[in-house]
Amino acid sequence: MWKWFWLILLCGASAEKMPDIEKMLLPHVKPASAEYFLAEPTGIKMAITAKSPKAQEHVLRGLNLIHGGWDYRAYQHFIAALKSDPDCLMAHFGVVFSLLDGDSEYNEPRAVAIERALALIKAGAGTPLERGYLFGLMQLLEEGPQAAAAAFEKVAQSFPNDAQLPLFEVYFRRSGFDEQGRPLPDQEVAQEKLAALMKKSPNSPMLIHAWLMIRAENRDVTGDLPMARKLCEMVPDYPPYCHLLGHYEWRSGNYHLAHLAFSRCVILYRNWMKECGVELVDCPEWIRAEMYRAAAVACSGDDESALAMAKALCKMKIPQERYKSAGARILWWEANTMEMRILMRRRGPDDLKMALASLPSKEFVKTLTPYSRVAFYYQGLAMLLESQIALEEKNWERAKELTQAMTMHLPLMQKVRDDVSRMGELAHFIRAYSFLDVATLQLKGDLAMAGPESQRGVAYNWYSGANERQMYASRMMPPVSLTPTELALGRYFESKNDARRALEVYQEGLSRWPKDLTLLSAIAALQTKAGDEKAAEQTRATMQEVRSEN
């Protein structure tokens, strides 16, 4: 017997004592209108147990949106279904699934949806298939993704004709790639299962999207880029697909094409918000797309335009009553630091001081304290920038003090990890912590290089450690740092007059950061120094190609 039946038997809720349905509805969210049709993915067709055709339609559209990567709009459809049928089991499944992200604003409606779903099952609601979906979902909540994958696989054995169950299994079974880009064992199984489904339906947007999603963080994505382009040709007006295409173009070094894809994405989200009366705070997807667009423009060499985009993001205001929203989180942790990250990449005269000045004011940060732990990130960034400024000014003692302070700051950040998780900020915290961790290693390397020549060898260990720990772009956002760590490591080898090893490091960086202008510039300089002007000219031509696409 499925393990979750025992959980139901132990559950105190009953059909008579279920919490009110209104507690599942976020007050600021408007239910989706069945009459308003946005370009949406299709492919999921199943019988939905509901009291009205309208509720069935909303649930199906919500399920297709889940597989299309737009959870908020899916949630709108699920609450619209609940308005028509408060006892629809699959609408409850959809609410829980679409609110899986940890944002604290979602805590109560998600918990209420779980409690009501279990009570409905106890009262005999739903078909065996529908209850199987809840089985998989409960396994996810109780034991994690691998348990959920096994659960959905088990249910699929009982319902082999259901198209959705294998997709959930694949999504939760995926495990990523190793440093060489080889799929890990579970990832390989997930890909094989999805490839078998795609062989039967090669032109299914839903399956193509699933494939691109589980492979989006591979080291080399160029092989799947044509598929990403095909997806947007098939469904050109669906913003999550445009965002995914932008990610694939960016990771392939096609910064101008990435910019175009993210620009399209931004326009589509804005049109949707206007048509449906949705506030910007409820469309973190727009903020992500605009951030990624700014990163693409910066990486193509147009720093001024990128900085203008970043400054506009920083000016966005969030009403205090929405400080627990997903939009607020991404604005504080990601958008408010975008200008700083672009300036750190450009690294011209006074750029570090400008980056420091771009951080939110202490007065503003104080207002966030009851809602967020982002202040720890801002403090770390301020110390990082001040230490880099001290290094530029050759104030070695001040730089050393600040670097030591950075080293002590990281354990303090770890102490608030539980708070961060409770507040729904864990994903942002992990990115922020990683950035500061890598930056601290690089600072230690910089300090070693500024010291006596006899002690500079230790810099290699710091730079190498930073290089191993750097984070790359996820499918939703660009890297936290827009500057490849290979630059510092390559310059270390240049200082040792080891041009061959420096060139290897820069070229290795290009395998992760294709057509990156900072790496190409370093390579061209080395080629010129070595007297290989033909190779240098080819490298500079590539750089010009990247810049001329703006």
Work out the end-to-end distance of the chain between its first and last CA atoms, rounded to an integer number of angstroms: 60
Would you state the pLDDT for residue 259? 97
Is the pLDDT at 35 greater than 70? The verdict is no
The mean-pLDDT minimum among 17-31, 249-263, 509-523 falls in 17-31
> What percent helix, strand, coil does the chain show, rounded to 5?
70, 0, 30
Residue with tokens 């949705």: 278
Percent of the chain with pLDDT over 90: 78
pLDDT at res. 4: 44
DSSP-assigned states of every residue in 414-437: HHTHHHHHHTT-HHHHHHHHHHHH
pLDDT at 9: 40
Query: Is 224 within 8 Å of 251 (Cβ atoms)?
Result: no
Strand partners, 177: 183
Closest CA to 172 of 199, 196, 143: 143
**Maximal C-alpha separation, the chain:** 83
Which amino acid, 119? Answer: A
Lowest-pLDDT choice from 3-7, 209-213, 474-478: 3-7
Residue of higher predicted confidence among 529 and 16: 529
Beta-bridge mates of residue 183: 177
Collapsing DSSP to helix, strand or coil, 357 comes out as: helix
**How many whole angstroms separate alpha carbon 439 and alpha carbon 3?**
46
The pLDDT of residue 329 is 92
pLDDT for 10: 42
- Give the SS3 label for residue 248: helix
Query: Distance between CA atoms of 84 and 145, rounded to whole angstroms?
Result: 32
Q: Given CA atoms 390, 391, 394, 395 in this order, what sign does their dihedral have?
A: positive
Do 78 and 109 contact (CB within 8 A), yes or no? no
The reported pLDDT for the residue numbered 2 is 46
pLDDT at 24: 83
Contacts of 307 (CB under 8 A, 6+ apart): 298, 339, 342, 343
Backbone angles phi, psi at 316, to 5 degrees: -65, 135
CB atoms within 10 A of CB 355: 25
The pair of structure tokens assigned to 379 is: 């403090």
What average pLDDT does range 173-186 have in this prediction? Answer: 91
How distant, in Å, are the alpha carbons of 276, 304, 351, 355, 486 from that of 346?
39, 10, 7, 11, 16
- Write the CATH number of the domain with boundaries 1-143: 1.25.40
324 vs 445 pLDDT, higher one: 445
Question: In degrees rounded to 5, what are phi and psi of residue 352?
Answer: -65, -40
3 has a pLDDT exceeding 70: no
Q: How confident is the model at residue 18 (pLDDT cuts 50, 70, 90)?
A: confident
Query: 119, 155, 124: which is closest to 24 by C-alpha?
Result: 119
Asked whether 43 and 64 are in contact (CB, 8 A), the reply is: yes
| Mean pLDDT across 155-161 | 94
Give dist(CA 404, CA 121) in Å, integer: 56
Q: pLDDT value at position 113? A: 93
Find the radius of gyration of the CA atoms of the chain. 25
pLDDT at 33: 65
Q: How far apart are CA 312 and CA 305, in angstroms?
A: 11
pLDDT digits (tens, 9 = 90+) for 281-313: 889 999 999 999 999 999 999 999 999 999 999
> Where does the chain hold its CATH 1.25.40.10 domain(s)?
484-550
Q: Residue 270 burial by CB count (10 A; 0-12/13-18/19+): exposed, middle or buried? A: middle
Q: Are 85 and 50 in contact (CB under 8 A)?
A: yes
8 Å CB contact between 512 and 484: yes
The better pLDDT of the pair 71, 34 is held by: 71
Helix and strand totals (H; E) in the chain: 28, 0
The closest alpha carbon to 358, from 337, 334, 375, belongs to 337
Report pLDDT for 36: 55
Mean pLDDT score, 267-276: 91
pLDDT exceeds 70 at position 550? no
Find the mean pLDDT for residues 23-52: 78
Neighbours of 13 (CB within 10 A): 18
Dihedral sign, Cα of residue 12, residue 14, residue 16, residue 21? positive
Are 375 and 402 in contact by the 8 Å Cβ rule? The answer is: no
The verdict on domain 484-550 having CATH code 1.10.150.80 is no
Q: 368-403: per-residue pLDDT in tens?
A: 999 999 999 999 999 999 999 999 999 999 999 999
Measured CA to CA, the distance from residue 438 to residue 431 in angstroms comes to: 11
- What confidence tens digit (pLDDT) does each residue in 441-480 have? 999 999 999 988 888 899 999 999 999 999 887 768 899 9
Strand, helix or coil at 177?
strand
Q: pLDDT averaged over the chain?
A: 91
Q: Which tens digits make up the pLDDT trace of 407-451? A: 999 999 999 999 998 888 999 999 999 999 999 999 999 999 998
Per-residue confidence (pLDDT) for residue 8, from 0 to 100: 46
d(CA 80, CA 54): 9
Model confidence at 184: pLDDT above 50: yes
What pLDDT does residue 16 have?
Answer: 56
